[in-house]
Amino acid sequence: MKISASFLGVPNIGQTLRRLNVTDVDYIHVDVMDGKYVKNKTLSFNEFKEIPNYTRKRLDVHLMVQNPLKMIDNYATLNLAYLTVHINIKDNLEKIFQKCQTYGIKVGLAVNPKDDISIVFPYLDKIDLVLIMSVEPGLPGQEFIKSTLTKIDSLKDEIKRRGLKTLISVDGGITLDNVKYLKDVDIIVSGSTITKSPNFQDTIKKLRA
């Protein structure tokens, strides 16, 4: 299982990224919000493009925006591992997949807590990753929604049935207490559990255990 560390809500982004850079965390999770798809709004790309000044870790970019298509050109210039958009957006998903493919970017689709997991099944052979939201998107520090576990099982069964290699990522409310239920997923996104801990590396090690 790989770990993607989110810095959403931290008071000092640069300092947090420097501390994460010296850990063995796999990715830095970058939450991008437009104030439309979700109520909150994050930094602009001009600010996010400074991330490589603080860390060499590859980025796991999560676009919580209504119209991500026009943003791909910018984010493609960063050290991207994955770029994930939400399935229920205004832009055409096929065009997003094609543009990401042009840049050689691995693409993911995010599914919200209220969505039935089957909504993503028609796209599984066109994407690299499914991001299951285990909290409502847009706010840090929420509690893990237990019905997420059923979604994981259903998605795993569908991926296995079709012989696909699509990865499963889970984002939101993951703690040292509930991570034991997520050992079979490919990537977990952890924010405050890591960034509010005194020792980032120790916490990352415990999440992997």
DSSP 7: -
Per the listing, tokens 């990352």 go with: 204
114 Cβ partners below 8 Å, 6+ apart?
A: none
Query: Is 184 annotated as catalytic?
Result: no
CA distances to 9, 34, 48, 179, 180 from 1, rounded to whole Å, are: 24, 30, 26, 11, 11
How many CA atoms are closer than 13 Å to the CA of 82, on its beta-carbon side?
26
| Catalytic option among 26, 60, 128, 171 | 171
CA distances to 129, 143, 171, 182 from 177, rounded to whole Å, are: 25, 12, 15, 11
Q: How many helices (H) and strands (E) does the chain have?
A: 7, 8
Query: Is 171 annotated as catalytic?
Result: yes
| Catalytic option among 31, 60, 91, 128 | 31
Q: Please, are residues 154 and 121 in contact by the beta-carbon 8 Å criterion?
A: no
- Tell me the catalytic residues: 31, 171
